[in-house]
Amino acid sequence: MAPRYDIVSQGEELLAGQAVDTNAPWISGELQGLGLRPGRVTVVGDELASIRRVLEESAQRAAVVVCTGGLGPTSDDLTRDAAAAAFGVPLEQSPEALAQIEQRYRTRSRPMPPTNRVQALLPRGAELLENRMGTAPGFVWDTGSCLLFFLPGVPFEMRPMLVEHILPRLRGRFALAPRKTVLLRCVSLAESLAGERMAGFERPGVTVGYRASFPEVQVKLHVEAGLDAAALTEEARERLGSQHVFGVGTGPLASVVGGLLRARGETVATAESCTAGRIAADLTEEAGASDYFRGGIVAYANSAKVEVCGVHAALIEQHGAVSEAVARALAEGVRARLGSDWGLAVTGIAGPGGGTAEKPVGTLHLACAGPSGTEHSCVRLPYDRLRNLSVSVALALDLLRQALLRQT
Amino acid sequence: MAPRYDIVSQGEELLAGQAVDTNAPWISGELQGLGLRPGRVTVVGDELASIRRVLEESAQRAAVVVCTGGLGPTSDDLTRDAAAAAFGVPLEQSPEALAQIEQRYRTRSRPMPPTNRVQALLPRGAELLENRMGTAPGFVWDTGSCLLFFLPGVPFEMRPMLVEHILPRLRGRFALAPRKTVLLRCVSLAESLAGERMAGFERPGVTVGYRASFPEVQVKLHVEAGLDAAALTEEARERLGSQHVFGVGTGPLASVVGGLLRARGETVATAESCTAGRIAADLTEEAGASDYFRGGIVAYANSAKVEVCGVHAALIEQHGAVSEAVARALAEGVRARLGSDWGLAVTGIAGPGGGTAEKPVGTLHLACAGPSGTEHSCVRLPYDRLRNLSVSVALALDLLRQALLRQT
């Protein structure tokens, strides 16, 4: 069995619910990738006795403990003291740690406040871990049966320390079966359906994890070294339905669509009614989006559809604003107005109000106008307002993605 | 001293870092509001012995334990079994629980899968807690010195159970000093500055909490019964700077702006360059936004500014797309095109590329055109791309808010 790790997240704001602990999930992902088994995550506040007790318990139970937080210079930063108490040693000034802290201040051309000297205190016998990004050094304590790592709680300081110092050391210490992780990103596929389709896929050396990041579903394959990860990925893609897998190890859907457009030297413009700018926002999340995104129209009121996007008022009167005819007119209108290769349009009823018997809440018309004509699709979404809007954005982007893939 | 609570979050996906635990922070906030003191939060996976051990430890340490997750019907739902083992009693079918589960299926007109009968098993002697929103009932165990509550992990099932069953029971069990919580929501104010301005505000019966929900900063006053919460709120607002406090106990900034517009029977339209639809998306988060939001133009490419928003090409050539002149022309143009009372425009360089010596990354021009003219402001933002965009949205909405407040 692989050795177990515990994670200790120290911070009153985490314990009191004023902040969500994002360090533990991230660290857990890294340690699992290495082949270690998770034990427990404990969140503990600013109380010396509590921190000490958690450290003692975790050191008893786990082979590896990663503790974040409580290494700052203020009086509520108690992890150093708690660690020294747990290991039965005094705190001692580390000249090396002090030099690193002083160096950080010199680099920033700022004087070091005297209170920061306390950050150079380490439990006697602990090994220093340099913090390249901040003033709180980390340290390691080895009980013989357990390696305990102490890191600052600020994510952008903590993460490089884990990657640069801790992961290599764990690889050296334990005979771990390294695993390759493959991330398949899916759209228009419910998590439960993904689970059903992947049932029975696990085999010796292969585990499967799921993560719903609504409306996207991510399927993670953990594959031990020596197995054919590429063939397993292909098999998983087939099972999930290759049209649903918009990326393997890629960025989000909008970034995949942007990449397809950029590769073709083509551009898109958006006409959004209910989604009101959310497709445009997604398409511009990455720098350089101006290569493929020209702009769009948020046609919320009917007058905006008519005045700005050139939809005939008669069309809206005849079919209603939420209709195939208006979706097509919006897509073609914005494509013409902005001179783009593609026009992508959405009109729907996100809810909770605005539904009728004929067009209930959740009705969504999508259209994609391109060089060889306009495609349309219509769905009925079952979620609440904000989730209906998220799915609408994903469906629109996926309509464009499918059209781009079909185009040769 | 107030009694202590522990929270146990059960779920392999939480432990393995595939999902972030949002239940524990929420529960912690509720229990603190009641006047209880936080002890520990523990995340534990799908392993019977581990769950049992955590429950035993927490019951020793705390007066109240809330455990979420692991009450579902599948073989990895082990919290029931772990609880029975921890309390030294067998599991028993609860006819009342079974009736509730069957009733839930009848309401949904679906047959109950036989596997779901397992959800009606409770540790012998435990008290049932009804789940109005799902099929997994909760239960309570009283050791005499510790009350343990077991709830499903799905937030929208768990939350009403905590509010309806657990909070009233805790109020009855313990002599707690009830506290009133006042939430002040601030914009254009750094968390550190909020902290400085509130330094020394705490006094007997009054504590202050901070939460940064970038770019918003929330300041929470916890005020014991018998103190004048309204006067304390006013004092805090003055300290923070009343122009920064956009709401007390309200929804987000866009919703406050929407409320001001609705109260005046006025409408807004947006012209967004760098923010590319994010202001429009924020303004339409709440249902009924069509009362005050007409639509907008995402003028990403210069041609979109000219063709769709009516900005003169010469103006862009002379001043550049990121300039006061273009921001004003966008705001006035979109107001005219969409026939709204207000036009709100943003043009800037979100980064990381696109900056020049004269107009560095982070340069942002905002304009708000209204019934009595157009206002402009310019700032330079120091963040990365996505945070620059979030702040841009907040500054634009705040520009409109300030203009609405000045208008009588």
Q: In the 3-class helix/strand/coil scheme, how is chain B assigned residue by residue?
A: CCCEEEEEEECHHHHCCCCCCCHHHHHHHHHHHCCCEEEEEEEECCCHHHHHHHHHHHHHHCCEEEEECCCCCCCCCCHHHHHHHHHCCCEEECHHHHHHHHHHHHHCCCCCCHHHHHHHEEECCCEEECCCCCCCCEEEEECCCCEEEEECCCHHHHHHHHHHHHHHHHHHHCCCCCEEEEEEEECCCCHHHHHHHHCCCCECCEEEEEEEECCEEEEEEEEECCCCHHHHHHHHHHHHCCCCEEEECCCCHHHHHHHHHHHHCCCEEEEECCCCCHHHHHHCCCCCHHHCEEEEEECCCHHHHHHCCCCCHHHHHHHCCCCHHHHHHHHHHHHHHHCCCEEEEEEECCCCCCCCCCCCCCEEEEEEEECCEEEEEEEECCCCHHHHHHHHHHHHHHHHHHHHHHCC
ipTM of this complex prediction, to 2 decimal places: 0.82
**Could you tell me if B356 and B302 lie in one domain?**
yes
Q: Which of A233, A248, A263 is the last residue of a domain?
A: A248
Q: Does the pLDDT of residue B227 top 90, yes or no?
A: yes
Can you give the pLDDT at residue B134? 85
All residues at 6 or more sequence positions from A245 whose CB lies less than 8 Å from its CB, including other chains? A184, A185, A186, A237
Q: In what order do the strands lie in the sheet with A206-213?
A: A206-213, A216-224, A179-186, A245-248
Can you give the pLDDT at residue A105? 84
Give B49's pLDDT tier (boundaries 50, 70, 90): very high
Which chain A residue's Cα is nearest to B353?
A: A287
Give A177's pLDDT tier (boundaries 50, 70, 90): confident
Contact B13 A54 (CB under 8 A): no
Can you give the pLDDT at residue A156? 86
Nearest-CA distance A277 → chain B (Å):
4
Judge if the upstream peptide bond of residue B352 is cis by omega within 30 degrees of 0.
Answer: yes
CA-CA distances (angstroms) from residue A168 to A11, A111, A165?
A: 27, 34, 6
Can you give the pLDDT at residue A149? 98
Average pLDDT estimate for B377-387: 92
**Could you tell me if B210 and B116 lie in one domain?**
no
**Could you tell me if A272 and A399 lie in one domain?**
yes
**Residue A189 or A263, more confident:** A263
Q: Which residues are registered as beta bridge partners of A258?
A: none
Can you give the pLDDT at residue A194? 86
C-beta of residue B190 within 8 angstroms of C-beta of residue B217: yes
**Could you tell me if A237 and A313 lie in one domain?**
no
Give B201's pLDDT tier (boundaries 50, 70, 90): very high
Which of B17, B308, B386 is closest, CB to CB, to A308? Answer: B308
Q: What CATH code is carried by the domain that includes residue B186?
A: 3.30.70.2860
Task: Lowest mean pLDDT of A43-52, A159-168, B212-221, B267-276, name the range.
Answer: B212-221
If you average pLDDT over every residue of chain A, what do you get?
93
Nearest-CA distance A372 → chain B (Å):
23
Can you give the pLDDT at residue B156? 86
Of the candidates B265, B254, B216, the one whose C-alpha atom is nearest the C-alpha of residue B401 is B254
Can you give the pLDDT at residue A287? 94
Q: Which residues are registered as beta bridge partners of B3?
A: none
Q: Which of B117, B152, B173 is the last residue of a domain?
A: B173
Contact A43 B40 (CB under 8 A): yes
Task: Lowest mean pLDDT of A217-221, B53-57, B309-313, name the range.
Answer: A217-221
Can you give the pLDDT at residue B58? 97
Average pLDDT estimate for B342-367: 96
**Could you tell me if B87 and B103 lie in one domain?**
yes
**Could you tell me if A160 and A47 lie in one domain?**
yes
The one-letter amino acid code at A91 reads L
CA-CA distances (angstroms) from residue A292 to A257, A283, A328, B401?
A: 10, 9, 21, 34
Exposure string of A321-347, with b = 16+ CB inside 10 Å and e = fewer, is bbbebbbbbbbbbbbebbebbbbbbbb
Q: Which residues of B touch A353 (CB under 8 A)?
A: 287-288
**Could you tell me if A302 and A334 lie in one domain?**
yes
Candidates A10, A46, A284: best to mutate against B (most CBs of B within 10 A) is A284
DSSP string over A239-287: HH-TTTEEEES---HHHHHHHHHHHHT--EEEEESTTTTHHHHHHTSST
Contact B281 A283 (CB under 8 A): no
Can you give the pLDDT at residue A327? 98
Nearest-CA distance A254 → chain B (Å):
14
Which chain B residue's Cα is nearest to A389?
A: B285
Can you give the pLDDT at residue B18? 75
Q: What CATH code is carried by the domain that includes residue B271?
A: 3.90.950.20
Q: Does the pLDDT of residue A132 top 80, yes or no?
A: yes
Can you give the pLDDT at residue B234? 97
Q: Which residues of B touch A13 (CB under 8 A)?
A: 211
* Residue corresponding to tokens 């009855």: B172
Contact B337 A209 (CB under 8 A): no
**Could you tell me if A241 and A258 lie in one domain?**
no
Q: Does the pLDDT of residue B114 top 90, yes or no?
A: no
Can you give the pLDDT at residue B208? 83
Nearest-CA distance B316 → chain A (Å):
16
Q: Which of B248, B265, B298 is the last residue of a domain?
A: B248
Q: Which residues of A touch B341 (CB under 8 A)?
A: none
Candidates B41, B74, B207, B344: best to mutate against A (most CBs of A within 10 A) is B41
Candidates B51, B272, B297: best to mutate against A (most CBs of A within 10 A) is B297
Which of A25, A54, A299 is closest, CB to CB, to B20? Answer: A25
**Could you tell me if A260 and A391 lie in one domain?**
yes
Cβ-Cβ pairs closer than 8 A, A with B, add up to 229
Q: Does the pLDDT of residue B24 top 90, yes or no?
A: yes
pLDDT in tens, B76-89: 889 999 999 999 99
Average pLDDT estimate for B43-69: 96
Nearest-CA distance A184 → chain B (Å):
14
pLDDT in tens, A104-125: 888 777 788 887 888 999 999 9
Contact A308 B21 (CB under 8 A): no
Nearest-CA distance B40 → chain A (Å):
5
Contact B338 A301 (CB under 8 A): yes
**Could you tell me if B169 and B213 lie in one domain?**
no
Q: Does the pLDDT of residue A210 top 80, yes or no?
A: no
Q: Does the pLDDT of residue A129 top 80, yes or no?
A: yes
Give B225's pLDDT tier (boundaries 50, 70, 90): confident
Contact B304 A283 (CB under 8 A): no
Which chain A residue's Cα is nearest to B29?
A: A17
If you average pLDDT over every residue of chain B, what do you get?
93
Q: Which residues of B touch A289 (CB under 8 A)?
A: 276, 300
Nearest-CA distance A394 → chain B (Å):
15
Contact B25 A20 (CB under 8 A): yes
**Could you tell me if A32 and A158 lie in one domain?**
yes
Q: Can you give the residue range of the structural domain that contains B22?
A: 4-173
How large a percentage of chain B has pLDDT more than 70? 100
**Pairing verdict, β A138-142 and A127-129:** antiparallel
Q: Does the pLDDT of residue B251 top 80, yes or no?
A: yes
Can you give the pLDDT at residue B348? 97
Q: What CATH code is carried by the domain that includes residue B16?
A: 3.40.980.10
- B326: its two tokens: 């273009």
pTM of the model: 0.82
Average pLDDT estimate for A239-243: 95
Contact B337 A276 (CB under 8 A): no
Can you give the pLDDT at residue A222? 87
Classify residue B293 by burial, with Cβ atoms within 10 Å: 0-12, 13-18, 19+: buried
**Could you tell me if A186 and A47 lie in one domain?**
no
Q: What is the tally of structural domains in chain B?
A: 3
Average pLDDT estimate for B383-388: 91
